[in-house]
Amino acid sequence: MLCAMIVDDEKAICDGLTENMPWAQMGIGRVIRFYSAKEAIESKAVPDILISDICMPRMTGIDLAEKMLEKNPECKVIFISAYSDKEYYRSAISLHAMGYIEKPINQAEAIEVISGAAALCQRQKHLISQQKGMEQYQVEQFCRDAANGHFRREWLEDPFIAGFAARHRWFMAVQVMVRPGLLKPGESQKLCHTASEQFRRFFAQCLAIVKEKDVLLLILADSPPKSEAALRDSMRLAIDSMAQRDELFFAAGAPVASVESLPSSCASAAETSRLLFYRGYGGAVFFEESRRPYLSEFRLDESFLEEVPCLIRENREDEYMLKLQKSLRTACECVNCPPEAIKKEYSKLLRVLSETGAAIFHRQDYETYHMWKTIEQAGTLLRLKDYLLTVSGELFHEHRKFSRYGSTVYAVVQELNRQLSNPDFSIRMLAQTLHFRDTYLSSLFKSKTGTTINRYLMGLRMEEARRLLRNTELSISQVAIRSGYRDVDYFTRCFKKHTGVLPSAFRGGQKR
């Protein structure tokens, strides 16, 4: 909607026009009034249409119109006058006034003049919007071509591209990598818009382009002659302002001082993006950081690999973890080594852990293929590190139980974990599975653990029930079934006996 300003030192005329015209029908959504030209100028308002008395004390409507046209060259001027002074009209003509409203005011004539001015404003705004849209489209196409290495000098002959180049002094391409699984289908454009809006607060212009799936390309342009250090500072401030920054990785290319060099900035941003694996999500890496003399080769110590089974059997967990952490710190500095090579080296360790674990217990996620697949899909070294530490910690934990209980009782514990949600599970079934007499298993289990098989199983089931009540929205009956109870009333009684509260009260926070 348009904004109209009415200025007249005759209060009755000013108020009458403001209050008695069908402004909304004419496409004018805001009307402001002043009783002197001085007040209008001091208000700092910038109208689309100025309706002013041509002859006012201290400052004429002509002078006011000149001031408003300086603020908005597209402003449409309409004069109100009861005078026939030719000098006034000659001045009005020089300002390209849209029309005149004579005093006394005829409403129909006033509506006709103002409607014409409003219609012209709307047409011009539409044309300007179309032109801006075309310019945005052309500039985005140019930036997309530059990013893909298809820069053509003919682009610079396009008036929109030439204008883009002339308006700005510094340019920088930034690749934004999104953590897998963060975006739902179709949300890339939404993130694109959010990123560009945030960065425009710090840069004269920001174009955000979805370059690949979950990869954004930001083209940042700055008008002031900033230094490269100032550009980097602005970049960090822009990143800190983003709500999702911990789920993103920013790879900034080399700053360039002309659009002709933009392809090189895009290429350097792509090169910098390889540091994602080593630095992880939640930060930014600048091109010059990627050019440091990092190590280009990574090898796991063969003597460490040979020692791993012995370290696990002898429960020397601290020594093992110290050596693993040391190797991971070295891997962080091997930025010039392809991530695939680092994953290949740690696959050797996983193979040793898998073989060692197979002698202790059988679980699908400790099979060689499953472990290799997990490490292959690790997008960052941090995720790889977390997986290695988790697998190693579980192996030491399970080996300690194996050593404490012996192979038979340990096998009972493993089977109880597997059968936790089976309401038909019994000690007789357990004995048949492990090929022992049930009385022997019960006696051996109690002597090694200090509790009976049934009590141990109930403890596992109650622990699972607490986990489900805390972390899921499953109903009480669904929790009972997943915890190995077919009868929800019996489950409720067991839960209260074990924890002191009903399952509903536990979920409500009375017991944590």
Q: Are residues 99 and 10 in the same domain?
A: yes
| 349 is a domain residue | yes
pLDDT in tens, 314-344: 888 999 999 999 999 999 889 888 899 999 9
Query: What's the full length of the chain, in residues?
Result: 512
Enter the DSSP assignment of 184.
Answer: P
Q: Are residues 397 and 436 in the same domain?
A: no
Q: How far is the C-alpha of 359 from the C-alpha of 308, rounded, in Å?
A: 14
The CATH number covering residue 447 comes to 1.10.10.60
> Which residues touch 324 (CB under 8 Å, ≥6 apart)?
349, 388, 389, 392
Q: Are residues 49 and 92 in the same domain?
A: yes
| 137 is a domain residue | no
Specify the pLDDT at position 210.
83
Q: How far is the C-alpha of 369 from the C-alpha of 350, rounded, in Å?
A: 10
Q: How far is the C-alpha of 358 from the C-alpha of 379, rounded, in Å?
A: 27
pLDDT in tens, 175-214: 999 888 777 777 888 888 888 888 888 888 888 888 777 7
Q: Which domain holds residue 333?
A: 302-403
Q: Are residues 262 and 348 in the same domain?
A: no
| 395 is a domain residue | yes
What is the mean predicted confidence (pLDDT) over 167-177? 89
Q: Is 148 helix (H, G, I), strand (E, B) or coil?
A: coil
| Pair type for strands 170-178 and 215-222 | antiparallel
Q: Are residues 457 and 506 in the same domain?
A: yes
Closest residue by Cα to residue 490 from 512, 467, 458? 458
CB 173 within 8 A of CB 217: yes
CB 188 within 8 A of CB 213: yes
| Summary mean pLDDT of the chain | 85
Q: How many helices (H) and strands (E) does the chain have?
A: 22, 10
| 396 is a domain residue | yes
What is the mean predicted confidence (pLDDT) over 384-406? 83
Helices (H), 156-284: 159-167, 188-200, 228-240, 262-272, 276-279
Whole-structure pTM value: 0.58
| Pair type for strands 215-222 and 205-212 | antiparallel
Q: Which amino acid is at 455?
A: R
Q: How far is the C-alpha of 371 from the C-alpha of 352, rounded, in Å?
A: 11
| 293 is a domain residue | no
**How many domains, in total, are found in the chain?**
4
Q: Is 208 helix (H, G, I), strand (E, B) or coil?
A: strand
- Picking from 233, 261, 287, the residue at the C-terminal end of a domain is 287
Q: Are residues 108 and 6 in the same domain?
A: yes
Confidence band (pLDDT; 50, 70, 90) for 511?
very low
**Whether the bond into 503 is cis, omega within 30 of 0:** no
- Sign (positive or negative) of CA dihedral 434, 437, 439, 443: negative
Of the candidate ranges 47-56, 296-305, 437-446, the one whose mean pLDDT is the lowest: 437-446
> Which residues touch 315 (CB under 8 Å, ≥6 apart)?
396, 399, 400, 403
Q: Are residues 478 and 433 in the same domain?
A: yes
Q: How far is the C-alpha of 221 from the C-alpha of 139, rounded, in Å?
A: 12
Q: Are residues 334 and 368 in the same domain?
A: yes
| Pair type for strands 49-53 and 248-252 | unpaired
Q: How far is the C-alpha of 205 from the C-alpha of 164, rounded, in Å?
A: 9
Does 75 have pLDDT greater than 80? yes
Q: How far is the C-alpha of 165 from the C-alpha of 131, rounded, in Å?
A: 17
- Picking from 261, 287, 313, the residue at the C-terminal end of a domain is 287
> Which residues touch 346 (CB under 8 Å, ≥6 apart)?
300, 375, 384, 388
What is the mean predicted confidence (pLDDT) over 396-412? 77
Q: How far is the C-alpha of 215 from the C-alpha of 233, rounded, in Å?
A: 23
The CATH number covering residue 96 comes to 3.40.50.2300
Tokens read off for 390? 């988790």
